[in-house]
Amino acid sequence: MDADKQKTSISYHYTFTFPDGRTKEFDVKLDAVTLALIRQKDPLYAQWAKLSYHQCSICPLHVAASEYCPVAVSLEELVEFFKDSISYEEVDVTIRTEARMYTRHVSLQKGVSSLLGIYMVTTGCPVMEKLKPMVRFHLPFASPEETMYRVISMYLFAQYFIYKEGGKPDWDLEDLVKIYNDIKIVNQSFFERLSALQIQDASLNALAILHNFANYVTFAIDDDMLQRIKLTFDAYLTDKKVQPAR
């Protein structure tokens, strides 16, 4: 059997190294099939993690069935560790995967944002899980342009599978904007949730970076942007052009 088919989990190992030599490691494990977060230990179940605490206005979950917000529970360790950290503090961040290693000297907010993005889409949130396929090919510190390309590629893959299942695909990307508008609501609600804790701004600004990416996506999905991407596919389109009748 192929070795990849035998894997039960996918790992992303983040190491933050501070100027004073301190380190903090986060070992993120995902189910290899579902990409759902595999919790390494029991969460703390802080009061701010309750579903009713600044619950997102579009949240489809109900307190009677889900006492705690799945995203908030998964972020407890991260938020607790960085609660006294300043966003602009410089750190070295190393991300190890089975295929490669990334290392970059960045502001703490950028490093935390990269990790935060994984947690938010793999914990079972019905809104955020629309982005879960991107986690399988996680690209730390991606530029807005790289993120846009990955988002559209993911979304069109989804439409292909919808088409193969007999559904009606959205080739015009109309629903992609709605997905990201919903994600912006979640980001804003989480910003309010964390702001109420009166913590330092590392986690808050990390979330703001994700929110800015969501804004970029909703504003950038237009004909001009798609036309610029289209130019790179000329080799495909040339063969499909209608030839003049003879």
Give the pLDDT of residue 144.
Answer: 85
Please tell me which residue, 94 or 235, carries the higher pLDDT value: 94
Give the pLDDT of residue 243.
Answer: 56
Give the tens place of pLDDT for each residue, 19-74.
999 999 999 999 999 999 998 777 668 899 999 999 999 999 999 999 999 999 99
CB 125 within 8 A of CB 71: yes
Residue 14 corresponds to which tokens in the numbers above? 């983040």
Cβ burial of 216 (10 Å; 0-12, 13-18, 19+) is middle
Give the pLDDT of residue 230.
Answer: 86
What's the mean pLDDT in 148-175?
94
Count of alpha carbons within 13 angstroms of residue 236, beta-carbon side: 5
Instruction: State the pLDDT confidence band at 219, using cuts at 50, 70 and 90.
Output: confident
Element (H, E) at 28: strand 23-31
What's the mean pLDDT in 150-160?
95
d(CA 186, CA 44): 22
Helices marked H in 132-220: 132-135, 144-164, 174-195, 202-220
Give the tens place of pLDDT for each residue, 90-135.
999 999 998 899 999 999 999 999 999 999 999 999 999 999 999 9
What's the mean pLDDT in 186-213?
91
CB 185 within 8 A of CB 54: no
CB 121 within 8 A of CB 105: no
Give the pLDDT of residue 43.
Answer: 65
Nearest to 218 by CA among 168, 179, 167: 179
pTM: 0.86
Sign of CA dihedral 232, 237, 239, 245: negative
Composition of the chain by helix, strand, coil, percent to 5: 50, 15, 35
Instruction: State the pLDDT confidence band at 238, using cuts at 50, 70 and 90.
Output: confident
Say yes or no to pLDDT of 1 above 50: no
Give the pLDDT of residue 81.
Answer: 92
Place of tokens 């759902």: 36
- What are the φ/ψ torsions at residue 131 (nearest 5 degrees)? -95, 0
Give the pLDDT of residue 241.
Answer: 61
Kindly compute the dihedral angle of the four CA atoms of residues 231, 233, 235, 237, in this order, to the nearest 10 degrees: -90
Say yes or no to pLDDT of 88 above 60: yes
List the chain domain ranges: 9-232
3-state secondary structure 22-55: CEEEEEEEEECCCCCEECCCCCCCCHHHECCCCC
Please tell me which residue, 190 or 242, carries the higher pLDDT value: 190
